Structure 1
Amino acid sequence: MPRQPYHRTKVFGMQILLKIGIIYLTSSLVSIYTPCSQSFANDLKASTNISLYTAVHMIYIEKKLVSETSEFSHILLIHALYHRMWEVGENFRRPLSFWNPTAKKQSLDSAIPSGSVWLPGIPSYSKWRNSACDCLDILHWAANSTIAQAAGMEHPTVLHLHASRLVLLTPFREIRSLATSLAQEKIRWGEHQRTIEWHYIERWVKHDQYKARLAIIHAGTTLWHVRRYSTNAFHEPGAVFLAVLTLWAYGYCNRQIMQYSNSHSESSDPSLIHLDRPCDDELVQLFVRQGQNMEGNVSGVGDICSSNGPEKVLRLGCETLSGLTSWGISKRFITILKSLAELVSHDSVRANSGPNANGMDIGI
C-alpha cells in the first residue's frame, strides 16, 4: 500500500488528524456498548480488514460501499471525501498546475494565470466534486435504509451527510470568515461588499447556482435533523452554525443580486419549497434546476431571500443553538449570529428608507 501522509484539518470547530492509509474500518456487527465482554471479542474477529484508503477507492471507482461496515466507518469515509477534495483543490490553487510542461522557454506571465482561482470554474475540479457528491449519495442511500429499519428515526450519520454537502458545495471558509469578521467589527458593514470573501460568495450564488441551491436544501434539512433528532453530539453546534450562515449568505446575496438585476423571470409551478422539511426528489430537482423562480421557505422565517429573511435566519440560528447547551462553543456561535443579525437589521432599515440607500455596487 502506498505510504499515506497525515491530513490535518478543522471541521465544525475541531481539529482532526487523519491518516487514511492506516485506518481500518469496523464491522457493523461489532458491539460498542460492551467492549469488555466475550461477545465483543468474538464480533471483533468479524471486523473487516479493509482500510479506509481502500474503501475510498472502492466508493469512488466501483461506486459501492464495503459491506457490513459500521456507522462510524461511514463517518470516516465522509471525512476522507473532504480530504480528497481539499487535496484536489490545493493542487489547482498552485499556479504550476495550469502549466503545460514544455522544453521551450516561455514568459512567466503568459504561462501561468495570475490572481485568485475560481475552483468551480475548472472542469477537472467540477468532475471531482460531482464524483464526491455521487459518493455521498451512496452513503445517503445506506443511511436511508437504516432510517427505514428504525421506523423513520434519523441517526447521527445523517447530520454528517447533510453537513458534508455544505462543506463541499459552498465557499464555507469565506462565508465563515466574513460573518466572523463582521460580527467582531474587523470589517465595517459598509465595506463588506468590497471584500474578496463577498466577491467569492456572490460568484457562488451567481455562477455556481445549481450547487448553491442544492447546498441550501441540505442547510435546511440540517436544521430539521437537529430540531428532531439531536443527540447533543459535539458536531451539532458547528453543523447548525454552518447551515445558518449558508442560508444567510445565499438569502442576503441573492436578494442583493435581484435588487440590482433588471431581468424578470417567469414564475414557476410550484412556486416555493420548504427547505427545512422533507421534500420529494422531484421537487428538489426542480428547485436545483429552476429555483431562481421559487421561494425557499424556512419555518419561522418565510422566504430566506425576502427583505427580512436573512435577519430572521440568523435569529432562528440563535434560537436553535440555545437548545444545544452541552457544548460551550454554542455560546460563541450565538454571539456571532446575534451581532450579525443586528448589522443586517440596521442595513434593512437603511434599504427600506429609500431606493439604493446604501449606494453600493455589488458587481465583481
Structure 2
Amino acid sequence: MTTLEEPAVEFPVARECPFAPPKEYARIREEEPVSKVGLPDGRQAWVVTRHEDVRMVLNDRRFSADRFHPNFPALTVGGNSFRRDSDDRTMIAMDAPEHGPARRAVLGEFTVKRMEALRPRIQQIVDDLIDEMLAGPKPADLVSALSLPVPSLVICELLGVPYADHGLFQTHTAELLKRTTGPEERRAAFEAVHGYLDELVVQKESAPGDDLLGRQITKLREEGTYQRGPLVALAFLLLVAGHETTANMISLGTIALLENPRQLTAIKADQDKTAPAVEELLRYFTIVDAATARLCVEDVEIGGATIKAGDGVLALGYSANRDPKAFENPDSFDIDRGARHHVAFGFGPHQCLGQNLARMELKIVFDTLFERIPALKLAAPVDDLPFKDDAAIYGVYRLPVTW
C-alpha cells in the first residue's frame, strides 16, 4: 500500500453533528475527490468521495473484496488480525467467480416474497414491544425498549438463534464496533460470538430446523458441499449486520422525524409516504461512513488519479450520499426526494443482502410507533444525546422519549 509523509486526512473522521457529514468530506469531494488518507494502523489508502465514482468502485472487478489480503485496508488498529482461515470466509470477502454462487445460495432467504411472509410476525413483535413500553415508566429509552430488540428478535428468528442469548452477542458486537476497542479485546469479542455460533451450528447439524441455518445445512448436504466453517461465518455476518444497522436507523430515524414535525405530520396522514421517507433517512444518515473498503488489483484511472494495484480504497458512501451532483440540496432532509439511488446499502454485486428486510422493519416500526404513540417526543435535547461517535456504525446509545 502506497505511503505518503503527511496524508491530508486521517480516517476515520468523527462526525461533528448527527445530521451532517464531517466538513472534510465536502472539501475532499470538491478539491480532490480521489485522494490519499491515513489509516489507524499507520498505512494509507485512497478515499473515493463522489457518488458516480463510489458506484463505479463498488461495481468494478478491478477492486477486490478479499479481506484476507494483507493490504486490505482496515479502519481499526488490528482490524485484520482476527480474521480466520480464508476457507471460512463469507460472500462479503469473495470476488467473482466464487462470489456469485455463494450469494445465490442464500439469496432466496431474502427475497421480497419471503420478507413479505415475515410481515405479520414483525408487526406482532413491534406491537408487543410498544405495549411493554406504554405499560412501563416514562421517560422510556427507545433504544432498549424498541430500536434494538426489534431487529434482534427478527434476525434471531430468521437464523434460528435463541433470543434468550441476545445479551451475549449484543455485548460483544458492541465491543467489535467500537473504534476504541483494543486489538486483544476486539479479538476476544470476535471469538466469543464466533464460538457461540459454532456451537449452535453443531447442534443444528444433528437436527436442522426450519430456519435459515437449518435450511442451509439441509440444502448444502443434499448438494454435497456442506462445510461448517463457512456457515458459521455466514451466521456471524448476518447476526451482527442484521441487528446493529437497523437498530441504529430506528433510533436516528425517530430523532429526525421528531425534529421535522411537518414531514412527520405528512407521514402520519399518509403511510404511503413512509417508504420514501425510509429511503431518505437511509441516505441522510448513511450510518456506515465508508460503504465498504476494497483492494485495487489492477491499475485504475478514476477521478483524475491513478490507483495502483495493491492499493487500498475506501468507498465513502456518506460523502456520495451528500454529493450535490447526485442529490439536489443534499444536506436537507426531504421525505419526498425519492432518492433510491443512494448507496446506504452499497452498490453492485455486494449490495446488502438484507436490504428488503431492513426496509420492511423500518417502515413497520415508524408507522406503528407514530400511530400508537402520536404524542411521542424527545425527553432530552438532541445536543445532550449520547451519539455513537466512537463506533463504526453510527447511532445513539440511549434515546429517552416520553408522550
TM-score range, shorter-chain basis?
under 0.3
Structure (1 or 2) with the greater helix fraction:
1
Which has the bigger relative contact order, CA under 8 A and spacing at least 6?
2
TM-score (norm 1): 0.21
Larger Rg: 1
What is the TM-score of this pair, normalised by structure 2? 0.19
